Amino acid sequence: MRKILLPTLLSLSMILAAAPAQAGELDAFAGKTGKIDIAGGTAHIPVMKEAAKRIMQMSPGLRITVAGGGSGVGVQKVGEGLVDIGNTGRALSEAEVSKYGLKSYAFAIDGVAAVVHPKNPVNALTHQQVQDIFAGKITNWKALGGRDETIHLYTRDEASGTREVFWEIMLKKGQIAAGANVVASNGAMKSALAGDMDGIGYVSIGHIDQTIKAPALDGVAPTQDNAKSGKYPVLRKLYMNTKGEPVGIVSDFIRYIQGPDGAAITASDGYIPTK
């Protein structure tokens, strides 16, 4: 696989001294100081960023950093004590739990969808067609009712939780062609496909916007409503993971994400809250 030189890490370091956010669940952070470092799955970033902003507006003495890198990075960094929360778009393996003593906290359900350039005329695909595309068996869009152009494949590296779910459920653990372009995040995938009329890749449904298009799968639109109802089958949970039981402001942050305010943020970013 050849690498596409797109950003390998999304990071955010926000210290806001704005007017206090509305009270309520945020009262748990009032007057507190300290730092929370978060890294890992890129699907989590919109929710983490918004929660961090609200918390730091309430308590300017807190500093929260949010970085990407993929699920594998999240596991490694939290396991090695480099961050307080490691995000993953998949459940932890028994080996990861055993090696690092990690605890997991789910907060959202998300779908993963095959996506193309918005001007690609192909509006629907079957499960088998997606498998054949990524295996390199279908190589021209004309075979799918599109333009007479070569299909350009985009995938994620093996540390990606999005990739793992797409590979296990959509591709049924089938082959991904060796010539596929490897990108580093959901955001990088969107950027690549927005600039490639003949590309196809996959992203978290929560990341789908006007810059890309998600063809229907076996007649079902890949939306979070269809994922929630069970009509759309390519699903995963989003997790926050800590090394041992979380304490202090880290515990407060996890409770906030899993609470009503966090659920509202999660839903507004296109995901399905677990509670």
pLDDT at 214 over 50: yes
Interval 168-174 mean pLDDT:
96
Question: What is the C-alpha to C-alpha distance for residues 45 and 229, in angstroms, rounded to an integer?
Answer: 25
User: How many C-beta neighbours within 10 Å does residue 74 have?
Assistant: 32
Where do the structural domains in the chain lie, given as residue ranges? 7-109+237-273, 111-235
Query: Distance of CA 24 to CAs 105, 153, 269, Å?
Result: 22, 47, 21
Interval 210-234 mean pLDDT:
94
Question: What is the C-alpha to C-alpha distance for residues 211 and 199, in angstroms, rounded to an integer?
Answer: 13
pLDDT tens, position by position, 3-29: 443 333 333 333 333 333 445 899 999
- At residue 4, φ and ψ (nearest 5 deg) are -100, 130
| Mean pLDDT value across the chain | 91
- Number of helices (H) and strands (E) in the chain: give both, helices first: 9, 13
What is residue 57's three-state secondary structure?
helix
* Beta partners for residue 152, in sequence order: 199
Question: What is the C-alpha to C-alpha distance for residues 236 and 127, in angstroms, rounded to an integer?
Answer: 17
Half-sphere exposure of 178 (CA within 13 A, CB side): 0
User: How many C-beta neighbours within 10 Å does residue 132 have?
Assistant: 18
Least confident of 7-11, 155-159, 210-214, 222-226: 7-11
Q: What is the DSSP letter of 220?
A: B
The second-level CATH assignment, the architecture, of 7-109+237-273 is 3-Layer(aba) Sandwich (3.40)
Question: What is the C-alpha to C-alpha distance for residues 23 and 58, in angstroms, rounded to an integer?
Answer: 8
Question: What is the C-alpha to C-alpha distance for residues 70 and 60, in angstroms, rounded to an integer?
Answer: 28
User: What pLDDT score was predicted for residue 6?
Assistant: 38
Return the ∠ at Cα 222 (arms to 220 and 224), rounded to 5°: 120
Q: How confident is the model at residue 230 (pLDDT cuts 50, 70, 90)?
A: confident
Least confident of 81-85, 227-231, 243-247: 227-231
User: Which of the four CATH numbers 1.20.140.70, 3.40.50.620, 1.10.132.20, 3.40.190.10 does domain 111-235 have?
Assistant: 3.40.190.10
pLDDT at 129 over 60: yes
- The answer to whether 78 touches 102, Cβ cutoff 8 Å, is yes
The torsion of the CA quartet 6, 185, 42, 67, rounded to 10 degrees, works out to -30
